Structure 1
Amino acid sequence: MGEETNHSRRRALQTIGSVAVAGLAGCNATGSSDPTQQPTDTSTATSTPTETSTETATNEHTGSEQTHEHTDAEPAEGVEFARNPEEVHPTLVEETSVSSDEVLIGYRLEDSSLPFETEVYHAPDGAEMQATKTYDTQDLSQVDLLPDQPQALDTVATDQEDIHYGTTTVGEPLAVTLVARHDGEAFDWSAWDRTGHPYGGHDEEDPALEVDCYCGGMVYTAPSGGTWARVIQVTPTERVDPGSTIVVNWTSSRVRT
């Protein structure tokens, strides 16, 4: 999780059981889900004006905006996901501590099939949620979706991807910037599915978690030799007890071509 330019590629995909991807279930409460999908995990599917059918990131001179539309794209053939937040949750609990008035949230990006390791940083104050940009540099000082002095979330290692975690309070978002620095040829990918433990926050009328949003059904582009960045956040609602520890897990892979 450092800021060096060159990164080792993610180790080969580890297959922990198979999972049928029944739908693109990336968005919820403060984002939206593809109206044609049939979600398989737990979060609300209410839409907001910022992400109904088309989403546009702020355009500034340091990066190129990305405009995304919900698509019918599917995962690349042969990709299997662990989707096991309930299995890694005890590790997060054992390796961390949280005060009785806070909530600890772990962000786990299950992206072993991608040629980069997704980095997770605290988002800058006032960041626009779902803002997404690509940059022709891997110098994080040029990534304006990060603070002037980027601070990575702490991590806990698991048998597959690390869990990046931070704390917040009930009703307050934990906003982060996802970063992908890629050395190979440009390619497209998507986050196909989201699960969580002990709360998922998907397809619920009264969600315990409001997630805004690394979204299924939207295709993202990793630029060659550059950086991709997206701002998201997770907010625990009053259904979450203070002192709780939560894992939110996203699965992602290249789109099928």
Structure 2
Amino acid sequence: MSEETNHTRRSALQSICSVAIAGLAGCTSIGSSDSARDPTETPTQTTTPTDTRTPERTATETSDAAQFVENPAAVHPTLVEETSVPADEVLLGFRLEDSSLPFTTEVYHAPDDAEVQATETYDTQDLSEVGLVPESPQALETVETDREDVHYGTTAVGEPLAVTLVARHDGETFDWSAWSRTGYPYDGHDESDPALGVDCYCGGDIYTAPGGGTWARVIQVTPTERVDPGTSVVLNWTSSRA
């Protein structure tokens, strides 16, 4: 698969109800909260940008009037229909609801030696210069929906699936936050023994996308023994400008 994942996106965006993002959080496990923060970002690397960037959204698409649907339950049947799961593994779908942001979040398999929650920014959009993706970047397979696509991979119960989230765009540098996370059929909110360990595209943390560059963060999801092998799960993160 190519480095980029081009998506056919978004019907006309509707007015959003007021979004109260302050105080929302979620790290470590689906539905549990903790104070885990990003590790300190490494110094920015400088090199000449290439043309391997993702297309920018239009001014209308980047408007704060985006309507967030947070609907993993509605997306789940499409994921099940369009994919197959090995009988001894769990399929994990990553849906990044980023309608109000000027980029489409890309999802790659993380390098074997990547540190979970490592976050870096780069002055290039050339993934060969991005250390948080493998030397030969491999994007997750995707299933298209009428909104954000679902990126997916499989892993065994008890084994983490580590991925690198990537943001590339040509606009001005800006900050955003992933302020809500939901899942189906496993969500785990307020559970002391969650079905999924998530570490962590954390609610309440502020991330910075450099204009003309690349932002990357490593996260991982681990299905516990509460999840039956052969199961498909959709995880949804909703993001907006900070």
Residues 61 and 46 of structure 1, relative CA distance in 2, 3 Å threshold: closer
Alignment partners' CA distance in 2, 1:136 and 1:203: 39
Counterpart contact for 2:142–2:151, Cα < 8 Å: yes
Q: Secondary structure of the equivalent of 1:56?
A: coil
Residue in 1 that maps onto 2:51: none
Q: 2:32 aligns with which of 44, 48, 54?
A: 44
**1:69 aligned residue:** none
Return the offset for 1:234. Answer: 0.7
Q: Pick from 39, 42, 61 the counterpart of residue 56 of structure 1.
A: 39
1:29 aligns with 2:28: yes
Tell me what 1:137 maps to: 124
For residues 23-58 of structure 1, what are the alpha-carbon distances to aligned partners after superposition, in whole Å with 9 as ceiling and x for unaligned? 65442336xxxxxxxxxxx622245xxx2xx43246
Q: Which letter does structure 2 place at the counterpart of 1:96? A: T
1:168 aligns with 2:167: no
Equivalent position SS for 2:221 = strand
Q: What is the root-mean-square deviation of aligned Cα atoms in Å?
A: 2.7
Asked whether the equivalents of residues 43 and 209 of structure 1 are also in contact (C-alpha less than 8 Å), the reply is no
Q: Please say if residues 201 and 210 of structure 1, whose CA atoms lie closer than 8 Å, have aligned partners that are also in contact.
A: no
SS of the residue 2:148 aligns to? coil
Calculate the TM-score normalised by the size of structure 1: 0.79
Change in Cα spacing, 1:92 to 1:26, as seen in structure 2 (3 Å) is farther
Pairing 1:184-203 to 2, within 5 Å after superposition: 184-203=171-190
Does residue 91 (structure 1) correspond to residue 75 (structure 2)? The answer is no
Q: TM-score, normalised by structure 2?
A: 0.84
Q: CA deviation at 1:127?
A: 1.1
| Structure 2 residues without counterparts, runs of 5 or longer | 47-62
Superposed displacement of residue 9, structure 1: 10
Task: State the one-letter code of the partner of 2:38.
Answer: E
Q: Give the C-alpha shift of residue 100 in structure 1.
A: 1.2
For each residue in 1:99-119, what CA deviation from the matched residue of structure 2 results, as whole angstroms up to 9, or x when unmatched?
A: 111000000000011111000
In structure 2, distance between residues paired with 1:244 and 1:26: 26
Structure 1 match to 2:53: none
Which moved further from structure 2: 16-25 or 121-130? Answer: 16-25
Given residue 200 of structure 2, which amino acid in structure 1 is its aligned partner? Answer: C
SS in 1 for 2:220: strand
With 201-210 and 19-28 compared, the bigger mean Cα shift is at: 19-28
Deviation (angstroms), 1:203: 2.5
The one-letter amino acid paired with 2:3 is E
**Counterpart among 96, 103, 118 of residue 90 in structure 2:** 103
**Which whole-Å CA distance do the structure 1 matches of 2:151 and 2:198 have between them?**
16
Cα distance in 1 for residues equivalent to 2:184 and 2:140 = 19
Structure 1, gaps ≥5 residues long = 31-41, 64-75
What per-residue deviation string (whole Å, max 9, x for no partner) do you get for residues 191-231 of structure 1?
01000000123321000011101111111111010000000
Query: In 2 relative to 1, CA 137–126 (structure 1 residues): closer, same or farther, beyond 3 Å?
Result: same
